[in-house]
Structure 1
């Protein structure tokens, strides 16, 4: 997200009331354990909590199903953005950043060290699509 904001000229800085939840269910990677806001990584055990919220039956009438070409369960965030993969999933770059960038070695070491070791089971990050 930092890259998206920076590419658009926004200034960002750490927010002390937040925690980054990672591979441990109750222990944040960064930030206080009792933080007001938590950001969940794609590697969080069981998946991101809000992705598992089910729609109440009485709320089904509040919206229509999106067109099939926009229905997608994969997410592209938290240092896992890949433009080739985005285009393969969505078929266009209309709603995304098209500026080329590469994640720094420091960020990769911090969040996805397995990728630097040649192991990658994160198709949204590592899979390169032939165009």
Structure 2
């Protein structure tokens, strides 16, 4: 099992979904595909065409521990705070919820069938949202 990527089925049917890619992500993936094509040419016959998107320069898929280490290395190189990759899921869902994306869409984006679970576990208020609450309370008290 060592050095082998283990694929798992989604926990629920809602976990299997197609999401529209934002334009900047589409552009980044097109650029990344060109980088990978160059790596494949350079590696020649030793390149493994695994079909995964996140692979090393020889086409081998990253296991989660290698992906985490590589992400932390890039965070340090970029001079940003080290965070868990999974925190990006919380950040994206919170950002969507705090910026007007309907709750049902946020929950569907997360692959959840239970809207209250998404809101309870993944959506966290940001300072601007808390300020909006303060402003509304100020209106009531004025």
| Higher helix fraction (1 or 2) | 2
| Higher strand fraction (1 or 2) | 1
User: What's the TM-score once normalised by structure 1's chain length?
Assistant: 0.30
User: What's the TM-score once normalised by structure 2's chain length?
Assistant: 0.28
Higher Cα Rg: structure 1 or 2? 2
